[in-house]
Structure 1
Amino acid sequence: MRVMVFVKATEDSEQGMQPSPELNQMFIDMGKFNEELVNAGVLVAGDGLKPSSFGKRVAFDGSRRTVIDGPFAEARELVAGYWIWEVKDMDEAVEWVKRCPNPMFGPSEIEIRPFYEMEDFVDVIPAEAAEIHDGVGEKLANR
């Protein structure tokens, strides 16, 4: 089962990173945790994200598109980083997150969400769409 693990942003993370001994230790601790994930065959991908002040959103309304510049309100609703993990089930993902060092200096949250797999759509996706998705998957695998 693939899951995406979101490190939720905080007011501090939205301010950007300033060099400090605490930040240095956080990078070391998180590096060691990532190494554990790799050694266990769990980590597929992951990275930290710059504060939302560097970001943009595109709002859709029918055929209209509106670009919205960051920063965005409600830091706790934003994502500061992510991992993609391959785990046997949600319980395993939860156990890994419980072992994670706190990714922020104060209170923080990590959210875990499973990916949809093509099997989830077997009863609703048209054959033509399934072929397109399969073809995209093959192209990605061959990159």
Structure 2
Amino acid sequence: MKHLIPAFLIGLLFGLGIVISGMANPAKVLNFFDFAGTWDPSLIFVMGGALAVTFIGYRVVLARSRPLVEGQFHVPTNRTIDARLIGGAALFGVGWGMAGFCPGGALPVIGTARTEVLLFVAALIAGIFTAQALMRLAQGKPSVSQTLRQ
């Protein structure tokens, strides 16, 4: 229970930020990428604000010996820039530019039950499972369905 309250509050703050900044509106994102038409540069300020908060937040939080509700920090240690990282980032960017949603912007508006949001989230979930299956296949591990059948 002690983890649920901070997770809820952080999720609420994140969702409010997404909605207030306009990131839940795919038209705002798509207009940012439309340099020849209805370009809306205001997304630069959203991104800049997010980077500033993240930069400061990491320094403040990681200066502590441990998190408030965990025994240790869980920070990624892999710093390798490889084809998988670059390909994933490119795929994310292309998908964001085509749909106008990223996972963070789509999740707060699922409750609207808008068709495009539900389709995006369904495609996102399908993509996650497909990527996991392909990674397991590449590593020679059995698929999730094969593991469940055993």
Q: TM-score band, normalised by the shorter chain?
A: under 0.3
TM-score (norm 1): 0.28
TM-score, structure 2 length as denominator?
A: 0.26
Greater RCO (Cα-Cα under 8 Å, separation 6 or more): 1
Name the structure where helix makes up a greater proportion of residues: 2
**When you count strand as a share of all residues, which structure comes out higher?**
1
